[in-house]
Amino acid sequence: MTYNEFNQNGFNNSTKKGRGIRIFTYLIIALIVLVGAGFATYKYMLKPVNASDKQIKLVTIPEGSSVDNIAAIFKKKNLIKNTTIFKLYVKLHNNASLKSGNYHFSENQGISTIVNHLQVGGKYQVAVKDLMIPEGSQLKEIAAIIAKEFKLDEANVFKQLNDKAFIQGLQKKFPQLLTNEIFKKGIRYPLEGYLYPSTYMYGDFTPSLEQIITPMLNETVKILDQYKVEMTNKKLTPHQTLTMASLIEEEATGTTDRKLISSVFYNRLKVNMPLQTDPTVLYALGKHKQRVLYKDLEVKSPYNTYYVKGLPVGPIASAGVDSIVAALEPAKSDYLYFLADKTGKVIFTKSLAEHNTEKEKHIK
C-alpha cells in the first residue's frame, strides 16, 4: 500500500466514523424532541376540557365499572379530552381505588382532580334526585312535574318553556332536532312532544331549566338518530315523526299493537282520508274529558284531525320509543278504522260498516 492509499483509507474511515457520530447525535436529538413532545401532549391532555366552564354535570359511576368504562363515561360527558391518557394516568395513580357512586364534575376540572375525587369518594359523592316523565305527558304536565320536584313556580316554568328566546337558545344546541317547524303558524307550544319521557337523575344542586330539559332533548336526539334511514325512506322530518308518534301514543292502550294503529293512519293518508283521531280534538279544545261529543269535532284548529287532512300541525304529547318506532315502521294492513272497547282492547276494521257494527257492540 502506498502512502497516498493509506492516507485515503484513513480519511474514509474517519469520514465514516464522523458520519456515524452525526447520525447518532441526530437520533438522540430526535428522541429527546419526541419524548418532550409526548410529555407536552400528555400534560396538555391532563388539563381541563374548558377552563372557563363551571357548569355542573352529574356523573354516575356504576358499581363494578372498569377503568375503560369510567373513561368512556367521562368522554361522553365531555369531561376529559382523551380516554387513553385518562387510563394511563389512572394506571400510574393506583387504579384499584376508584369508587362508584354519583359525583358532580365540570369541564374546568382536569384529570388529576377527577381521579382524586373518584379515589376519595365519600365527601365528593352526592345524592341524586329522580325526575320521572311518563309517556304521553304533555308540556303543561311536564312543567308541573318539574316545578313540583325542584320546588319552582309552575307558571314560571311553563312560561319559560314557551319563551321564544329560551327556545332559540336550545335551537343552537340542537339544530337538527329543533328546526323552525316548531314555530309554524298554529303551533301552540313549540317544545310539545320534544321532551322525551323517561326517568332522569339530577345531582344535589338547583339546576337551571335548561339543565333540566337538556337531557330530555338529548334522549330524543339519540332515539331519532337510530332511525335516520327510516325517516329518510318515509320522507319524514323529526317534527313529523314526533307528531305521528304522539298520535299513536295517545291512541294506544296498554299493550295495544302500536304498529297496527300506525298502519291505520298511514292507510288513511294514502287514500286522502282525514285521520279523525279523538285525542287531537281534545288537544285542540285544551281539555281532558272522557267522551268527545259531535260538536267537539267541529273545533277549528290545525290540531283537530277531523277539521284538517293529514298530520296535525305538531305533536300533542311526548311519545315513548315504542310509538316512535311504530310511526316509522307501521304494520302492513288494510285497516282504516279502530276503536277501543270498555276494557281498553282495540278493535280494527276495514270498512265504515264494520266499524259501525263494532261501535254498536262495544260503545253505548
Look at the block and give the residue holding cell 260538536. 295
116 lies in the same domain as 145: no
Average pLDDT by consecutive 10-residue portion of the chain (364 residues)?
52 58 71 66 80 86 90 92 88 79 91 89 85 96 96 96 97 96 97 96 84 95 95 96 97 85 96 94 86 82 95 97 96 92 85 87 74
Cβ–Cβ under 8 Å, residues 66 and 100:
no
205 lies in the same domain as 239: no
> Is residue 3 one of the residues assigned to a domain?
no
Q: Which of 97, 126, 155 is the last residue of a domain?
A: 126
Nearest to 56 by CA among 116, 107, 117: 107
d(CA 255, CA 334): 21
280 lies in the same domain as 331: yes
Cβ–Cβ under 8 Å, residues 85 and 42:
yes
Q: Which of 126, 149, 168 is the last residue of a domain?
A: 126
Spatial CB neighbours of 211, under 8 Å, sequence gap ≥ 6: 55, 56, 202
CB neighbours (10 Å) of residue 21? 10
Full domain range(s) for residue 309 = 227-362
205 lies in the same domain as 244: no
Structure confidence at residue 93 (pLDDT): 80
Structure confidence at residue 13 (pLDDT): 55
Three-state DSSP state, 178 = coil
76 lies in the same domain as 163: no
3-state secondary structure 105-139: ECCCCCHHHHHHHHHHCHHHECCEEEEECCCCCCH
Overall domain count for the chain: 3
d(CA 128, CA 206): 11
147 burial class (0-12, 13-18, 19+ CB within 10 angstroms)?
A: middle
Structure confidence at residue 6 (pLDDT): 46
Q: How many CA atoms lie within 13 A of 215 on its CB side?
A: 20
Structure confidence at residue 248 (pLDDT): 96
The grid coordinates listed for 23 are 447520525
Cβ–Cβ under 8 Å, residues 193 and 246:
yes
Q: Which of 85, 105, 126 is the last residue of a domain?
A: 126
Structure confidence at residue 346 (pLDDT): 87
261 lies in the same domain as 178: no
What are the angstrom distances between the C-alpha of 337 and each of 195, 297, 302, 349, 351? 30, 17, 22, 5, 7
d(CA 199, CA 215): 10
The strand pair at 128-132 and 57-61 is best described as: unpaired
